[in-house]
Structure 1
Amino acid sequence: MKVWLIPTAIAVCLQLWLNLYVLAHPPVRPIRAALHAMLFAALLFTVGDLLASFVSTNGTERWAGLILLYTGLIFISPTWWLLALRYCEAQQLGLDFTRKNWVYIPFLLAGLLWIGLVTNPLHDQFITPRLTGASEFHWMFWWNAVQSYALLMGVAGLYGTLILRQRRGATRKQLIILLSATLATAIASAMYVFFPDEIPFDPTSIGVCISSILFIYGIRGSRLFSLSPVDLTTVIHSHPAGVLVIDSTGQLLYANQAADTLLASKRLPVEDDPFLSLSRILSLPESRDQAIEPRQLQKELLKVDQPAHGHLFRFGDDREGWLKIESVPLPGRRQTIRAWSLLLADQTASKNAADAIQASEIAILRSRNLESLGVMAGGIAHDFNNLLQGILGNTDLALEEVAAQSTLREHLLDIEEASLRAGKLVAQLLLFTGAAITEKRDLDFAETIAQIAEFAASSIPDRVTFEISQPTDLPMIRVDPDQIEQAVVNLIVNASEAIGDETGTIRLAVSAEQVTSENVDSLNLVSPIPSGLYMKIEITDDGEGMSKEVRARIFEPFYSTRFPGRGLGLSALLGIVRTHSGGLSVQTQATEGTCASVYLPALEDAAQQPALSAPPIPATSDLRVLVVDDEHAVRSVCTRALRLAGADVVEAETGEAAVDYATEHDFDVAIVDLTMPGIGGLETARQLRSLHPDLRIILSSGHRDTDIQAKIDSDLICEFLHKPYRPSELLGLLNQLLDTKLDLNPGPV
């Protein structure tokens, strides 16, 4: 067996695989016919070469092999030429030979050569084959050789030029594979033709073998003949954004499918006037009611100086949303504008997302502001309430010394009233920040709401109907009753004011509602609440309602639509709800009334708490009181009031001083400020109780403390007195605590 037949046999196998693979996996349409023809010509050449090499005589079998060999050799270069041109068309590389008939001239010449090949035994003008040594080639063979090498070099030159110009990585890689395959076949064939004496066998089959391997690598690894760019017109026509091309006079040149759909929403043909179509569906950003004139729209869009972000419009028809229009000038000759490209993009989703992000940022900023305001309000409340304590206490003491008929008494009463109002204002500020002092108790919610509703009904005008609906088997709830009363009454008063001078109805409904992660979003709460059982207080009115702008600001402090109001009612309500770990929802529309819902956590397993009892009253005739406060004015007022009532009083400025006094002396009652420098009020109370287990303790503060009872140990039985308070309130608490009859005017001793 001849050694050089091995690459020929391998080439036959590779060509068979390529032909079958391409039949099973057709390439893109422009390449399909040319690729099949080229591969079939290469298969004929390799099969003919193998057949002619096996036959040892110049008989019919050897001549049939030569016919197949040279048929493939004649047609392989024209088909390769056609494949190169069709590949350029498929890849849109700037060459279009679809309507060029001259590309088929090589096939005509190849056909004439093939006729000469078939008739060669009659004239011997193509080849004279010999069994030994090189065959003798004639002018037809050399004609075919020149034509074949010219076509192959043309193909190689075309591929090389495109490689230098190509920027797409995938296409560049494919061109390199095709160039290498072309050169491998051409060089192998030229070596035998031009150097027949030096080479004992025809190496063209080796070149075909190398080309076949490159083709297989390209087809399997680089999607050769199956990867083609998408037509640009198809991309634009299928784009989800609308695309319009308009000339400088406003005439429509092109509209893709999305633009047709968008502009045809009013059943107006886009070909008539695109700007008229746009003006029918759009409005100015400020309001949906502000229409746009078509010519003004054309003037704005067809300007050279365009904003970088484009033009943003509202949909003015029955759709809610936003449309962005970007216009790009298409240059013509001599620096003129040939036409304009308008990109119409629906910005509704992105605009809503941006608005949601902005609203979230505003909510975070507002929360931080509330937190800062809470810290500031707590500090102000402590200092301000101490000042009010001095004013109110001294006023109360002065009233005890002034005759009832004295004109000075009226001035003192005005001072007292102003002090009380100032104290309430500070309390409302603390409620708004969620930092108010609370004294929560376990209550029967049905009974509590019934009492509050009865009280609130008295403040509603007769022209307004008040309806209440609540079941009797409601669970217990742990709340500060005073704050809950303030919240409910505030909502009822607001509902009454919303009805105004008209007749209307206010409905109060109470129910138990289970809040879960699935339904919490549907409640439209101001802030989310955890899952659990909640008591829902719903107050509905058929008053004037609120606009979106007013609704967005109702919880801002000092914002009010009522002239007499201070704008702290709903702010304080929100603070009360947050203090009780609850939720709040306000649903309203202008002229359609308002529905406010308060959610308070219920006690699902409420255990009966044992009542706290005071230690036994000491058997003593003289009341000994320890007053502990870092404010001199507060200590002075308490001391003078208690001494007027006949008590023995010792003052202490700090907790440490109070503990030192209690170590050496016995006391019946200790009045301790909750917020003091040093060890603090609670720690002072614990140390005093450890020294004197029977000591009554009254804690007092004007500072923020969201839950006093939660901070007091279960064995530390204390009363609490809010600042500012009057001396008479202090004595009243002592009388209740000790079963005494202390009075600021005890009479003769």
Structure 2
Amino acid sequence: MTYAVPPHHDYWWVAAVAAALAGGMLLAVWAVREWRRAGLLQTTLEESRSLAAHAARMAQFGYWTLNFGTNKVLLTAETSALFGWPPEPRELYGEWIRALIHPDDWPRLGKAVEACRNGEPQIDTEVRVIRTDGLTRHVRLLGERHAGKDGGDLCVGCMQDMTALVMARDALRGSTDRYREILESISEGYFEVDTRGRFTFSNSAIQRMLGYKAAELLLLDYRGQFSKEDAKEILRVFSDAARTREPGLYSGRVRRRDGEELFIEASVLPVAGGEDLITGFRVVVRDVTWRVREEERRRGQERQMWSARKMESLSVLAGGVAHEFNNILTGILGYAELAEMTPGCDREALGHLAHIKESAERAGRLARQMLAYSGRGSFAVGRVFLDTFVTEMTRPLLAQLPEKARLRVEWGDETPPIEADRTQLSQLLLNLVLNAAEAYGDAGGEILVRTGAMDRPAAMTEETPLRSAMEPGRHACLEVLDNGPGMDHDTLERIFDPFFTTKFTGRGLGLSAVLGIVRGHHGGIWVESAPGRGTTVRVCLPACDTEPAGEPGGPTAFSPEAERVSLGRVLLAEDEKEVRCLGSEMLGLLGFEVDAVADGRAAVARFKDNPDGYHCVVLDWMMPRMNGDEAVAAMRALRGDQPAVITSGYTEEEALRRIADAGNVVFVQKPYSMAGLAEAIRRACGSGKK
């Protein structure tokens, strides 16, 4: 019998032969079977060792054993190859080991080994080793403490060459550092969030922008930095960017840590991970608050300039209309007055004439309101204490308020006096209070009138259309407040426009007149209102320091016979034919001889012919070729004390402001009566005869 016995299995062959010789056939069979099983196991083991060695070489793994008692290190062939030796097992002792480790890493390895020697169960560290060819490799050492067979403690572990991984990691770290340096160098804010909205990265610019530190931002949800409405908008931008895989743009507000709101522009870029799933977003943020504020300021200035131009245009229009209207009313009132003086005028005719005069006087009040809006109202300035003035006005105001309206007055502390026309101020307060009462409608409500003092505040002067007219310094303030329905923005923009009204009745000149009165007193007005929040109107007028001159007394009662000042000649210049004829007739009834011309230049030419021949000259202010004030100046050059009366549909301030010496020059506003004209001539000439 012949057996093919594999090498290294002599033991099992000998056992089988021995069993057969001993006559134990069953034992021999058993021995052969065990021999075959052991052979298979040995073959498998050898193959596993070969595969393990191959895998170790491929993975650049090697194994080692450290005997703590002898300090001997056993290296496998693969470990020896890592150090640059031939691939065969090797033993190392003492300084040989230290010579293989980079000097900067030896203390860390020595500390780890010493810790394991003293009971630490594992070693896990990275060190640099120096190969025999001088090259440096990065390796990772892993080891576990074990008890040896002879009672000595061992550390058994493996070593992997990590050089390629370390180089890739360093390259990635360098790339990341450059990436972070770039992000830190830009002025725009940058942050990254995950799909839950949590911050995962932020640069210093966004940290300064929002007022948070980097670690604090990592704990926040980005949506918490936006208001409810803005959060909906930026969430929409994120959703659209994730759906389209395209960058999204957001323009709106963001809230800082201290609560301040910034205006930003943000670009949102989705980040895709495995299987093209969105894993987060990168966001670049630009702070455009300064640009938005500047744009708002520019638009505000444009609105203010437009409002000022509109006010100026409407003022010129209103003044011009009032002037022409007053010229027409002069003829109506004057001829009605002359008709009343006509002998034989019956009672019925006198009644009709009275109605004509009453209607004309109502039209005259309307013209005065228009002049007030234009800032050209007539002023009789005196010192006014607002607290006292409001107290005096309480009863007249209550008399004109609706039954369900209630008036409450609060007086301020140390309200300074002002220089104002009491009549104009009464009209201002009455218009404001009635406007507040009308805001309540039939339901009624409380109207608060409040006085006070303040310096011109920057916030208020930015809102008032008259900020340019308000001078710095102390101001007395008059406020009228109601809790009515309030006004929207569009209504607020138009409340001072002439003839604009939201009521079924009314001419829409109340607040326009208020604005003109404030302008004429060099003050400011500010209106605050919103739907459902009522309205507050604040008027600020400059405080005064000096006592103004006293007001002249009013005219005496008129009768044609008593008003014959003296016989003499009067030079009348009036471009309106009807008014010129009316003036000539009135002056004739007063006992004067009249020379009537149609313009200022003709009046000067007539005056040159006989400078001492005119008791008085009566001139319209605005005429073609030469105005009345220019004609007075030319006549004064020929006769310095020539008495003159200036008439106009405008106001005294405008008519006389360009006359250098206003002595013996009296103003009478159209429409005037015979009594008013006679009183003006008396004041210009005095009581003596010329």
Bin for the TM-score computed over the shorter chain: 0.5 to 0.7
Against the structure 1 CA distance between its residues 417 and 299, is the aligned structure 2 distance closer, same or farther, given a 3 Å change threshold?
A: farther
Q: Does 1:283 align with 2:221?
A: no
Q: What residue is the counterpart of 2:251 in the other structure?
A: 312
Contact 1:279/1:292, CA 8 A, preserved across alignment: no
Q: What residue is the counterpart of 1:8 in the other structure?
A: none
Matches within 5 A, 1:519-530: 519-521=457-459, 526=464, 527=467, 529-530=470-471
SS in 2 for 1:670: strand
Q: What residue is the counterpart of 2:455 in the other structure?
A: 515
Query: Residue 642 of structure 1: which of 587, 607, 612 is its match?
Result: 587
Query: C-alpha displacement at 1:497, in angstroms?
Result: 2.0
CA distance in 2, matches of 1:563, 1:316: 46
Query: C-alpha displacement at 1:604, in angstroms?
Result: 0.8
Q: Tell me which amino acid in the other structure corresponds to 2:629.
A: L
Matches within 5 A, 1:547-586: 547-586=488-527
After superposing the two structures, state which structure 1 stretch, 349-358 or 484-493, moved more.
349-358
Q: Tell me which amino acid in the other structure corresponds to 1:493.
A: L
Q: What residue is the counterpart of 1:495 in the other structure?
A: 436
Deviations along 1:502-558, whole A, 9 cap, x unmatched? Answer: 4533343445x3626xx5546776116323333322333344444455444433444
The structure in which a higher percent of residues are strand is 2
CA distance in 2, matches of 1:338, 1:300: 12
CA distance in 1, matches of 2:347, 2:241: 81
Against the structure 1 CA distance between its residues 409 and 572, is the aligned structure 2 distance closer, same or farther, given a 3 Å change threshold?
A: same
Contact 1:282/1:314, CA 8 A, preserved across alignment: no
Query: C-alpha displacement at 1:673, in angstroms?
Result: 1.0
Q: What residue is the counterpart of 2:663 in the other structure?
A: 716
CA distance in 2, matches of 1:379, 1:100: 98
Q: What residue is the counterpart of 1:600 in the other structure?
A: 541
How many residue pairs get aligned? The number is: 504
CA distance in 1, matches of 2:553, 2:642: 15
Against the structure 1 CA distance between its residues 416 and 451, is the aligned structure 2 distance closer, same or farther, given a 3 Å change threshold?
A: same
Q: What residue is the counterpart of 1:108 in the other structure?
A: 134
Query: Residue 179 of structure 2: which of 222, 227, 232 is its match?
Result: 232
Q: What residue is the counterpart of 2:385 in the other structure?
A: 445
Q: Does 1:668 align with 2:608?
A: no
Q: Tell me which amino acid in the other structure corresponds to 2:385.
A: F
Query: C-alpha displacement at 1:633, in angstroms?
Result: 2.5
Q: What residue is the counterpart of 2:575 in the other structure?
A: 630
Contact 2:270/2:281, CA 8 A, preserved across alignment: yes
The structure in which a higher percent of residues are helix is 1
After superposing the two structures, state which structure 1 stretch, 538-547 or 571-580, moved more.
538-547
CA distance in 1, matches of 2:563, 2:202: 95
Q: TM-score of the superposition, structure 2-length normalised?
A: 0.58
Return the index of the structure with the highest Cα Rg: 2
Deviations along 1:344-391, whole A, 9 cap, x unmatched? Answer: 566666434432321122111221232333344444444444344345
Q: Tell me which amino acid in the other structure corresponds to 1:243.
A: F
Deviations along 1:636-668, whole A, 9 cap, x unmatched? Answer: 221233334554322122333323444526333
Query: Residue 698 of structure 1: which of 624, 635, 645 is its match?
Result: 645
Query: C-alpha displacement at 1:108, in angstroms?
Result: 0.7
Contact 1:689/1:716, CA 8 A, preserved across alignment: no
SS in 2 for 1:534: strand
Q: What residue is the counterpart of 1:360 in the other structure?
A: 301
Against the structure 1 CA distance between its residues 107 and 457, is the aligned structure 2 distance closer, same or farther, given a 3 Å change threshold?
A: farther
Q: Does 1:683 align with 2:623?
A: no
Contact 2:664/2:684, CA 8 A, preserved across alignment: no
Q: Tell me which amino acid in the other structure corresponds to 1:495.
A: A
Matches within 5 A, 1:185-224: none
CA distance in 2, matches of 1:382, 1:620: 29
Q: TM-score of the superposition, structure 1-length normalised?
A: 0.54
CA distance in 2, matches of 1:426, 1:618: 28
Against the structure 1 CA distance between its residues 621 and 254, is the aligned structure 2 distance closer, same or farther, given a 3 Å change threshold?
A: closer
Contact 1:628/1:654, CA 8 A, preserved across alignment: yes
Q: Tell me which amino acid in the other structure corresponds to 1:489.
A: L
Q: What residue is the counterpart of 1:370 in the other structure?
A: 311
Percent sequence identity over aligned pairs: 26
Contact 1:438/1:708, CA 8 A, preserved across alignment: no
Q: Tell me which amino acid in the other structure corresponds to 2:618.
A: I
Q: Does 1:539 align with 2:480?
A: yes
Query: C-alpha displacement at 1:432, in angstroms?
Result: 3.0
Query: C-alpha displacement at 1:270, in angstroms?
Result: 10
Query: C-alpha displacement at 1:735, in angstroms?
Result: 7.5
Query: C-alpha displacement at 1:253, in angstroms?
Result: 10
CA distance in 1, matches of 2:287, 2:563: 82
Q: Which 5+ residue runs of structure 1 have no aligned equivalent?
A: 1-98, 112-226, 741-749
Query: C-alpha displacement at 1:730, in angstroms?
Result: 3.5
CA distance in 2, matches of 1:295, 1:521: 37
CA distance in 2, matches of 1:602, 1:253: 59
Against the structure 1 CA distance between its residues 645 and 292, is the aligned structure 2 distance closer, same or farther, given a 3 Å change threshold?
A: same
Matches within 5 A, 1:35-184: 108=134
SS in 1 for 2:540: strand
CA distance in 1, matches of 2:493, 2:653: 27
Query: C-alpha displacement at 1:494, in angstroms?
Result: 1.6
Q: Tell me which amino acid in the other structure corresponds to 1:650.
A: D
Q: Does 1:465 align with 2:403?
A: no
CA distance in 2, matches of 1:676, 1:105: 114
Query: C-alpha displacement at 1:702, in angstroms?
Result: 2.0
CA distance in 2, matches of 1:106, 1:487: 105
Q: Which 5+ residue runs of structure 2 have no aligned equivalent?
A: 1-125, 138-173, 556-561
CA-based RMSD: 5.4
Contact 1:423/1:724, CA 8 A, preserved across alignment: yes
Q: What residue is the counterpart of 1:55 in the other structure?
A: none
CA distance in 1, matches of 2:394, 2:294: 43
Q: What residue is the counterpart of 1:659 in the other structure?
A: 604
Q: Does 1:326 align with 2:267?
A: yes
CA distance in 2, matches of 1:594, 1:675: 41
CA distance in 1, matches of 2:564, 2:651: 37
Contact 1:475/1:602, CA 8 A, preserved across alignment: yes
Against the structure 1 CA distance between its residues 721 and 236, is the aligned structure 2 distance closer, same or farther, given a 3 Å change threshold?
A: same
Query: Residue 299 of structure 1: which of 221, 228, 240 is its match?
Result: 240
CA distance in 1, matches of 2:282, 2:637: 87
Contact 2:641/2:664, CA 8 A, preserved across alignment: no
Query: C-alpha displacement at 1:732, in angstroms?
Result: 6.3
Contact 1:612/1:717, CA 8 A, preserved across alignment: no
CA distance in 2, matches of 1:493, 1:573: 12
CA distance in 2, matches of 1:252, 1:627: 87
